[in-house]
Structure 1
Amino acid sequence: MGDTKHTRVLIIGSGPAGYTAGVYASRAMLEPVLVQGIQPGGQLTITTEVENWPGESEIQGPDLMVKMEAHATAVGTEVIGDYISDLDLSKRPFTATGDSGTTYTADAVILATGAQANWLGMESEEKFKGFGVSACATCDGFFYRGMDVVVVGGGNTAVEEALFLTKFASKVTLIHRRDTLRSEKILQDRLFKNPKVEILWDHTIEEITGTTAPLGVEGLRARNVKTGEITEVAAKGVFIAIGHSPANMLVKDQLEMQDGGYVKVMNGSTATSIPGVFAAGDLTDHIYRQAVTSAGMGCMAALDAERFLSEQEK
């Protein structure tokens, strides 16, 4: 049987929201415990250049998260490399179970589990995951030097992935189901000016094709949403960049939700439908979804947790 560890504030998640919550909770002398989860550092660890973090004209995503973790640790946050597989919010102290076998109990919980990549949900996509199909250009782009690749999507993520892949690939085809992109204009300008990029407008993916021995992608079939015409696109890699969904698995049946599965919080607060449970970052933010706003919400969550605990003590 594993150990039991109690803390006044348990922070679940380790992106900008989680680490910032750790900094502020530590400064409030709450001695928080932060459980990093399956992807320490969150989505920024699979991001290359971050150009909109205040004070840094450009910084690599993984480097920023290393700095944030070090800051949280330096001021007193206990950072633990574990994954919370179960969370009971039905009574206080709240109880979380880690994959390590450790049971965590807490007087207050800050949820900062972020979001996870969306997939197309196709059988052929599942077949080639890890063998030519990826949701992370930063992780896998290096393997496609001198090859043709495809990026699927039309938002910031898709354009950033496509631009990053031009460093390695000989050609990048961006496939989008509409005739305009949703990404920031500055990113669109860079994309349109890049000679390695070709855009296939008004198309959806019909099937990803490849070999079985060895298993590997060779291309895909794309359907024109207006005419139904099929276009064959040769590619060794297919990168899915169609956004993310909130990682709400631990709490979707316990907390009140907004449309899209985002945890609902009170206006002007990070308080959820259960007193003592707070949510920050992409888990609750369906509008801005930026690293800096996540960090701000992490600060708010820590301050909200401090006030909650002070009132409980009174």
Structure 2
Amino acid sequence: MTLSDIAKFADVSRSTVSLVLRESPLVAEMTRVRVLEAIAELGYVYNRGAASMRSGRSQTVGLVVAEITNPFYAELTAGIERVLEEAGLLTFLANTNDSTERQSRFIQRMREQGADGIILSPAEGTDRKVIEELQRSRVPVVQILRQVAGTVTDYVGADYRLGTELATEHLIERGHTRIAFIGADRQTSASAERLTGFTSALRRHGLNPAHVMPCPSLRVEAAERVMALLAGPNRPTALLCHNDVIAHGALSALYRLDLEPGRDVAVIGFDNVAESAISRPPLTTIAVGTSHIGEVAAHRLLQRIAHPTATPERIILPPRLVIRAT
């Protein structure tokens, strides 16, 4: 079965069939439908591998994230896929669970498959040599959310430092002086920037943190650690959490201790995932425009693919405080 056979069956030119298979916008909708019906009738299967060899493009992109169980990453992925799909690219998603070994295997597989680019949220402990190797092999790469120290690539993320400063200032304005930071137990740029924003805001007011407690992004673990914290001496009156997952675990801990969130102990999350608006009570949090971050990163990768020698850009998106009930 050839393109000429399809063209003859659909009564169009061979070049029109080729444009339809490449999803070109230059083909009229009625003509497109007729060609697709002919393809279905004849049972033709488009050989994308051969097409990729001809064009030098695979029309695929690798997306590497660290914690797929966190709803934040689902919203981020949706934003990335929306832009790439409109551009005719297919996204392959990998969850590293912050394992550099898993990350390396996926990156190698994407290189073997000739991926047109990679959007990478680096796993904890990623060596700069991983990024430099991608650059040497001319694989377009955009780092997202986290950035490996010493690397120079396109980067898209939120202003995490400003976000925690906004949250801390809000708590201080509400009269809180014993504020605990329930942080992620990962050594990443995003974690460090959050903690810096928290401590900087406290210093401006002559305050010290009540506690800085590492915690994984798991509700059950967060609930258990917060319960232990609140059972100790000098109980904090406010909890500033690394993300909304940890914050929701903190809310569970308060209920188990018969404490009212927002009244007995204030809680602020980070990320503003969709669930936070309808939780009980609705969670005060820092919104970073999760889906928009993904869209911007996808657009940045498309620009990098089109202009591989352009100067890398660092795009930092502003956060905002969303005040709710906690």
The bucket for the TM-score relative to the shorter chain is 0.3 to 0.5
* TM-score normalised over the length of structure 2: 0.31
Mark the structure with the bigger radius of gyration.
Answer: 2
* TM-score normalised over the length of structure 1: 0.32
Structure number with higher helix proportion: 2
Task: Between the two structures, name the one with larger relative contact order (CA 8 Å, sep ≥ 6).
Answer: 1
